[in-house]
Amino acid sequence: MKKLQDKVAVITGATTGMALATAKLFVAEGAYVFITGRRQKELDEAVHAIGRQVTGVLCDSTSLADLDHLFGVVKAEKGRVDVLYANAGHAEFGLPLGAITEAHYEEHFNLNTKGTLFTVQQALPLLTDGATVLLTGTVNMTKVAPGASLYGASKLALRQFARTWSIELKNRHIRFNIINPGPIDTPLLASLPPEAIEAIVAQVPFGRKGQPADIAATALFLACDDSAFITGVEINVDGGMALV
């Protein structure tokens, strides 16, 4: 039996990188997956890359109207959500105090904090008893990095979300857990200057970048019954970066 056989999963921000790898693995393990993206071309390409058992929905997670549309599609097609992976987020580095604008603030908190909150809340009527909810955090919730205060702070709220919601939904046995990626080999990391990437990787005890498959494997563990007694926790997938 596949680990997610006949499960229905929703993954936001899944057109590239970690979430796309997760969607592919979930489908391979038997799930039907709904993925979202903010650009139709990239969304169509991701759906094609996954190949089967997938529906792509154009959705900006900062828009409650878009989220209503997303879960309306899910309700009409499948009627439930067994696994929700609220992954859509924004990250910008090199923003020290004194350089942060209102636009920077809104970009981070609207997507990382507000977007995560309302993605979960809008999904709540469709979540099955015993469902799993995954949130994407960051190693910067623990590892202090100059210029990343805004990013880290916008993600730090997710810790309180996951811990509190785990208690609030305990009677329905809905589990909330956070995956904290370190430097993962994604388009986001690749967009940084080579010297910045080298400096980041130098802080990883394992001495290398992680791969999207590392995140996907962790997401699968947290989504399936292998982790049935785990809720309200964070798993750092960072090669030990948060330890030093």
Q: Is 151 a catalytic residue?
A: yes
pLDDT of 196: 87
Give the class (CATH, top level) of 8-184+213-235: alpha beta
Question: How much is the mean pLDDT over the chain?
Answer: 97
pLDDT at 188 over 90: no
Q: Is residue 90's pLDDT more than 90? A: yes
DSSP structure string for the chain: --TTTT-EEEESS-SSHHHHHHHHHHHHTT-EEEEEESSHHHHHHHHHHH-SSEEEEE--TT-HHHHHHHHHHHHHHTS-EEEEEE----------TTS--HHHHHHHIIIIIIIHHHHHHHHGGGEEEEEEEEEE--GGGTS--TT-HHHHHHHHHHHHHHHHHHHHTGGGT-EEEEEEE-SBSSHHHHTS-HHHHHHHHTT-TT-S-B-HHHHHHHHHHHHSGGGTT--S-EEEESTTGGG-
Domain ranges within the chain, ordered by starting residue: 8-184+213-235
Mean per-residue pLDDT, 215-229: 98
38-76 confidence digits (pLDDT tens): 999 999 999 999 999 999 999 999 999 999 999 999 999
pLDDT for 155 beyond 90? yes
Mean pLDDT of all residues in 128-155: 96
Q: What is the pLDDT of residues 177-187, one digit of tens each?
A: 999 999 999 98
pLDDT of residue 192: 85
Select which of 32, 85, 105, 151 is catalytic: 151
The reported pTM is: 0.96
Question: What is the mean predicted confidence (pLDDT) over 22-39?
Answer: 98
Section 27-47 average pLDDT = 98
Average pLDDT over residues 64-91: 98
User: What average pLDDT score do residues 68-91 get?
Assistant: 98
